[in-house]
Structure 1
Amino acid sequence: MAKQTHRLSARSVTTITKPGLHADGDGLYLVVDKTGAKRWAFIFQWDGKRKEMGLGNLASIGLADARGIAADARRLLATGKNPIEERRRAKAEREVAAMTFSRYAEEFVGDVTKGFHNDKHQAQWRMTLSVVRDIDPFHRL
């Protein structure tokens, strides 16, 4: 007998109130807590252990979106990658790539000081920005 997928409907997702795991198929579950809160989880096996990857709450992730995220996670599993670790790695890469004040200031000073003929002026710009970085941004002067 073939595995049944897409067991849940948009209507059933909103009306289910019984606490527990409610399977949609292929590892996607609607988790209903004792408090009635609902969230999506993708459950899979990794190195012989059961893993649960949270996908978000029902208020922010609909059934179709949850199915899409679960499909992406299944594709990663098929290539031998842990979807939880891949999500962590991607988040870390986004944080590294994010523009910080410090990095922006260094780039700005590099661009501005190219036209300065005096090394002292370049040093003053760098010093000013390094002092600004050390000040508490919520401190009122």
Structure 2
Amino acid sequence: MKKGLTAKGVAALREPGKYADGGGLYLQVTIGTDGTPRKSWLLRYVSPETKRERSIGLGTLDDLSLAEARDARDAARALIRAGADPIEERERIGQRARIEAAEAVAKATTFDQCAAAFIASHNAAWKNPKHRQQWQNTWRLMRAQCSVLCRSRRLILVS
């Protein structure tokens, strides 16, 4: 019976190719443009969502040791057993993080900051000085109306 990879064996590999450890985990060795070997971990699996074979990169050998790569493989295989595709799950997590970051910025941005940013970004397109002034006046009027509305409803408008 063939054994999996060893830490010493992984360090010694120099020939390009994919070297199996077991359970779908592979060490991929490629040669970089400078001639040195590049080593990264791949997990090959069948997606429970599409029923197609897929490969997901787990990281480089510099980032993950053999033991850490095996742990990452086991975590990904647990997702697969639960019916989730690890690549799709990674994308969902990334999308969720981007949405949360955008929401945090939106919550921290005041009306005045938003108006100033809009005017600054469109200022060059407004050739007529009167047109620029009209936009600034419109924003000031909207700000005043928001302030009145907030006071009438006992809300706090941060400027």
Question: TM-score, normalising length from structure 1?
Answer: 0.70
In structure 1, distance between residues paired with 2:117 and 2:24 = 47
How big is the alpha-carbon RMSD for the aligned residues of Structure 1 and Structure 2?
A: 2.1
Residues 1:44 and 2:48 are matched in the alignment: no
| Counterpart code for 1:42 | L
Residues 1:88 and 2:91 are matched in the alignment: yes
Alignment of 1:1-141 (within 5 A): 7-35=4-32, 36-46=37-47, 47-98=50-101, 100-106=104-110, 126=111, 128-134=112-118, 135=120
Q: Number of paired residues?
A: 113
In structure 1, distance between residues paired with 2:97 and 2:80 = 22
Question: TM-score, normalising length from structure 2?
Answer: 0.63
Structure number with higher helix proportion: 2
Q: Structure 1 vs Structure 2: percent identity of aligned residues? A: 31
Instruction: Tell me which structure has the larger Cα radius of gyration.
Output: 2
In structure 1, distance between residues paired with 2:5 and 2:116 = 55
In structure 1, distance between residues paired with 2:13 and 2:85 = 30
Question: How far has the Cα of 1:31 moved from its partner?
Answer: 0.2
In structure 2, distance between residues paired with 1:39 and 1:64 = 14
Query: Where do 4+ consecutive residues of structure 1 move more than 4 Å?
Result: none
Which consecutive unaligned segments of at least 5 residues does structure 2 have? 122-159
In structure 1, distance between residues paired with 2:51 and 2:15 = 29
Which consecutive unaligned segments of at least 5 residues does structure 1 have? 107-125, 137-141
